[in-house]
Amino acid sequence: MRPLTVAAVQAEATPGDVAGNAARAARWARIAADQGATVVVLPELFLPAYDPPALRASPATTDVAADRGGWVADARLDPIRAAAADRAAAIVVGAAVRRPDGRRTCAALVVDRRGRVAAAYDKQHLCGPEEKDLFIPGTRGTTLDIDGWRLGLGVCYDGCFPEHARAAAVAGADGYLCPSAYVRGSAHRRDVYYAARALDNTMYVAFANPVGGVDPWCFNGGAAVYDPEGRPLARGADDGEAVVVATLDAAELARVRAAHQMLAEHRTDLGADRAVLSG
């Protein structure tokens, strides 16, 4: 595999303004691609903005519709399509998706380098009563294959569960892409979870997060790309819009996996037979 350059974005979205947020996403994607990125990751629910009151009030305008094949044809996303095709970059961005069977999901869209939009992955772990009231959880994982790299998809709270990233790694993932939405006051957990998922599975992790917002939905940035030992290759500040860019290196991935064998040596039978002692 040749080196792959990945960008994680921290940016502010306007609640309910899918067209405007798509234009913002396209602008950030172009900025990232102009710094060499082939894959650009934007935050969770960036297209409608992570704002539960707005999502609850107007699903007809905040959602995008996917067809039975998972493709999204919404014209509001044309700026992102154009950016992906013009810059030959794949773009991962969060959206509220209406499925043909009526399910509403918190999804990661993937816009490929030809500008096609797929509702690629539905968040499997919904966080808190607001999300559980708005969305139906997904039931399957997704891997993005690009230039010989395999990149597992997760959305925010998915990354808090070690087995979610592990499932991607066991399926052959070299990296893990996580559009997310962490609020102010959560910086410690934000920085631990995704570094840990990188080290747990000796794989790269790209974490995107919003900034701005209105209380209680005020977000804390910290977008980052972590190496396979959990060290940040690039990280944004807690405030202010930014794009962070880092290059994934196959030789470094192989070196770390040879030195740290947790992925190869993990056991699936632990806990089935467990002694209980009284003290």
Handedness of CA 51, 27, 112, 158 (dihedral sign): negative
Range from 147-151, 219-223, 267-271 carrying the lowest mean pLDDT: 267-271
pLDDT in tens, 244-267: 999 999 999 999 999 999 999 998
* Whole-prediction pTM: 0.97
Q: According to the model, what pLDDT value does residue 274 have?
A: 86
User: Which of 198, 196, 187, 252 shows the shortest CA–CA distance to 223?
Assistant: 187
245 bridge partner residues:
7
Per-residue pLDDT, 271: 80
> Mean of the pLDDT values across residues 197-213?
98
Q: What pLDDT, in 10s, does the model give residues 1-54?
A: 899 999 999 999 999 999 999 999 999 999 999 999 999 999 999 999 999 999
The CA-based dihedral angle spanning residues 99, 121, 107, 203, taken in that order and rounded to the nearest 10 degrees: 180
User: With left for phi above 0 and alpha for psi between -120 and 50, is residue 216 left, alpha or beta?
Assistant: alpha
Q: Which pLDDT score is estimated for 46?
A: 98
Mean pLDDT computed over 193-198: 98
Q: Residue 212: is its pLDDT beyond 90? A: yes
Whether 108 shows a pLDDT value over 90: the answer reads: yes
- pLDDT tens digits, one per residue of 79-104: 999 999 999 999 999 999 999 999 99
- Per the listing, tokens 């966080």 go with 127
Q: Do 77 and 26 contact (CB within 8 A), yes or no?
A: no
pLDDT band at 197 (very low <50, low <70, confident <90, very high): very high
